[in-house]
């Protein structure tokens, strides 16, 4: 009889830094997310990422969003750019974006994800919670 993997649940307010120790390949996962964030930032402006809380904790899906600021009111609006598979990093169908219960309530911006990959590549002897911002 084949063993079934135990499904680890992801709290609905998690960010990548919260689940990084559970990722199959943390450096590669965060690098690929950062690549998608940078592409969105160059094309549309400030970008951020939310992880899929209904995904596998070893490689959660993720949603890239961009922020647009109204020049007059300085009010910021957030728009979905694309959702990606956490295992293949390929774009998911647009219907995944619309299912808001799939995505964490919290996000990480490009700067925070860049800092996270830096800490993963050059770990310091700090506590395990050092991956959080």
* CA gap 87, 78 in Å, rounded: 25
Long-range contacts of 75-83 (CB under 8 A, 24+ apart): 78/48, 79/44, 81/40, 81/44, 81/47, 82/36, 82/40, 83/52
d(CA 41, CA 21): 27
DSSP state of 25: S
d(CA 91, CA 61): 10
pLDDT digits (tens, 9 = 90+) for 54-108: 989 999 999 999 999 999 999 999 999 999 999 999 999 999 998 888 999 999 9
φ, ψ at 67 (rounded to 5°):
-115, 130
Percentage of residues in the chain with pLDDT exceeding 70? Answer: 87
């Amino acid at each position: 009889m084949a063993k079934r993997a135990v499904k680890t649940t992801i709290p609905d307010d998690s960010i990548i830094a919260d689940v990084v120790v559970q990722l199959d390949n943390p450096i590669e996962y965060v690098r690929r997310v950062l690549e998608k964030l940078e592409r969105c930032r160059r094309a549309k402006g400030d970008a951020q990422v939310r992880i899929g809380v209904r995904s596998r904790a070893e490689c959660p899906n993720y949603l890239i969003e961009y922020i647009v600021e109204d020049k007059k009111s300085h009010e910021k609006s957030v728009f979905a750019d694309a959702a990606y598979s956490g295992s293949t990093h390929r774009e998911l169908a647009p219907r995944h974006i619309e299912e808001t219960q799939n995505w964490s309530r919290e996000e990480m911006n490009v700067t925070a994800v860049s800092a996270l990959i830096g800490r993963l590549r050059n770990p310091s002897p700090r506590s395990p919670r050092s991956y959080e911002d």
